[in-house]
Amino acid sequence: MCLGFGLALSGCLGASPWPLTVATEARYQYGDAPRWATAAADDASWSNVAIHALPDSAGVLWVRIDIDVPATETLGLLVAGAAAREVYWDGARLGATGHVGSSPGEEVPGPMDASFRVPDSLAAAGPHLLALRLSSFHRPDGANGLLLHIVAGEYRALLREPLYGIALPLVFLGAFVLIALYHGLLFTADRRWASLLTGALCLTMALLLVAEGWRVVIGYTYDWHVVRLRVIEALTWMTGVLVVATLAAQFVVPQGRALALGVATLLAVVLLASGSHEVGTFTVFAVAFALSAGVVGWAAFHRKPGARLAFSGVAVCLVALAVARFDFMEAALFPAFGVLLAGLLTNLGLQTRRQHQRHIATLATKARLEAELLRKHLHPHFLMNALTSIIEWVETDPQQGARALEALSSELQMLAEVSNQTVISMAYELALCRAHLDVMGYRKGNTFALATENVDMDAPIPPAVLHTLVENAITHNAYPEGRVTFVLCEERTDTHRALTFEAPLASASPAVRPERGGLRYVRAQLDECAPGRWSLDSGPESGAWVTRVLLPLDLKPISSR
């Protein structure tokens, strides 16, 4: 709604309804003589120059401008520049900004922008003389010319004219802040980089808008002008980096972090190598949007959902940049970015919906597989075999029968306790595995053992994942009587834990194992606790069946174990 309102408002505020005259050339002279304010003063020997090309002032500088004004009800002047100034109209003093001086100590910096009312007696339509007495001892290096903008016309229009350029962007400010807050909170829940980067991008745009509006809405003395320009350049650089990084995160571009780092370096070089504020910001946006087009082009080539929509948003920004050129920041950035942002948010919303649908499907699969897992352990055949063995031991070896009964009871109790948990501790998972090994050892006549290497006992893991791998290993291998040792190893990187489970093969030529309920249950468990951020590989290696599980370090916290 805000975007639509903003676009509609742009049509209403596109131009002032009153005629305005913009001064383009001036004559200037170093020195200080009050008579230079009058039309009778001879300025034939003064230098002519464009308004924006006035030289630096090492003292008091006088500027005279011939200006032809239209008929107005109330005539006024808008003078913008990085200098303290006194303003004279046909020899009459209209006012001053700051205090013009012949030394840094004598001068007092004035506001960048100031409007002056011309007396009605001097406001007739036609040619007039505008004289300015200037000094700029507090103008930092890197500031633009002494005078940036001189406009004559209807006084009411001059008071409103600065607001025309900022009114439309301010419409977007609230939307940017709300979107930034929403995606910041969303990141705490889904831990997706695309959410975090989208929020950071909107926050940066909001700050850029505030920096742009600072001069018009609040105002400042001219010695702060360079500070504002440097802030805008830094935010422009950050916006360019975040646009590319956000698109790369949304479409899961390979080596996304390296790409973002490369873009950050490239845009920093571009900005530092530019000769002016306008060229620097324009070039940064041009390079950033060109790289963004490359990212969404890659996504479209790989048939990523939403790539065409994102490409449309980037194309709008490129067209707006080509049309507005150096006025892009003031005239077109925020509406064009609004279109790009709409595409980004739509894509993110579609991805969230697909993730939610996948999560619901995962929960349904998990529930079904949990039921299968419990049913399998409560299956009459499993219980019958276990109880038959226990009855025989009660008659022949009561102590072993008691131990087998205790192991069976312990396994069933632990399975029931973890069946509704998202994650449990590795120590509890290993206890569950060893309880199952005890039961199966009594049944099979083997001594099953589970050895661990570098395993973090406090780390979280989805319940019954290793238990399922152990169960699969015993089910698919007819181990001869004796000792069978399974091995679990853990390695860590900066972002993941790598668990490797090795089960010795009973046969030198293992049969191909089609994936059934066991591994599907494991995959469903992994996807529920770390959607899209895990991997599982399984296959024979050097006389063992090896299963590798990669888990992120930031799994959800353990809820009960």
Which pLDDT tens digit goes with each residue over 185-194? 888 877 788 8
Q: Could you read off the pLDDT of 323-347 as tens digits, one per residue?
A: 888 878 777 888 888 888 888 888 7
What are the φ and ψ backbone dihedral angles of 560, each rounded to 5 degrees? Answer: -140, -15
Do the beta carbons of residue 443 and residue 386 sit within 8 Å? yes
Distance CA 487, CA 510 (A): 19
* Total Cβ atoms within 10 A of residue 72: 21
367 membership: H or E segment, kind and range = helix 333-377
What are the structure tokens assigned to 365, written together? 């699969």
Burial call 284-317: b when 16+ CB within 10 Å, e when fewer = bbbbbbebbbebbebbbeeebebbebbbebbbbb
- Tell me the C-alpha distance between 524 and 367, whole Å: 9
How far does CA 394 lie from the centroid of its chain? 66
Q: Cβ(135)–Cβ(98) under 8 Å?
A: no
- Write the burial class of residue 249 (CB in 10 Å: 0-12 exposed, 13-18 middle, 19+ buried): buried
Q: What is the pLDDT of residue 511?
A: 57
Taking only the tens place, the pLDDT of each residue in 292-310 is 999 989 988 888 888 888 8
- Going by the DSSP 8-state scheme, the letter that residue 255 receives in this structure is T
In the prediction, which pLDDT does 1 show?
A: 40
Helix segments in 477-559, DSSP class H: 517-529
Residue 556, CB-side half-sphere exposure with 13 Å CA sphere: 18
Q: Are strands 447-453 and 483-492 parallel, antiparallel or unpaired?
A: parallel
- Both tokens of 528, joined, read 């529920």
- Please give the pLDDT value at position 8: 41
Please give the model's pTM, rounded to 2 decimal places.
0.62
3-state secondary structure 268-306: HHHHHHCCCHHHHHHHHHHHHHHHHHHHHHHHHHCCCCC
Q: Please report which helix (H) or strand (E) contains residue 314, including its range.
A: helix 307-324
Q: What would the two tokens of residue 214 be? A: 């600072």
For residue 353, count other CB atoms closer than 10 A to its CB.
10
CA-based radius of gyration for the chain = 37
Rounded Cα distance between 254 and 156, Å, is 56
State phi, psi for 15 to the nearest 5 degrees. Answer: -155, 155
The position carrying tokens 């080539």 is 301
Q: What is the DSSP string of 140-162?
A: -TT---SEEEEEEEEHHHHHHHH
For 209-233, the three-class secondary structure string (H helix, E strand, C coil) is HHHHHHHHHHCCEHHHHHHHHHHHH
For the chain, which residues score pLDDT lower than 50?
1-14, 558-561
DSSP 33: -
Q: What backbone phi and psi angles, to 5 degrees, belong to 450?
A: -125, 110
Instruction: Give the CA dihedral 83, 84, 90, 95, nearest 10 degrees.
Output: 140
Question: Which positions ≥6 away from 512 have C-beta within 8 Å?
Answer: none
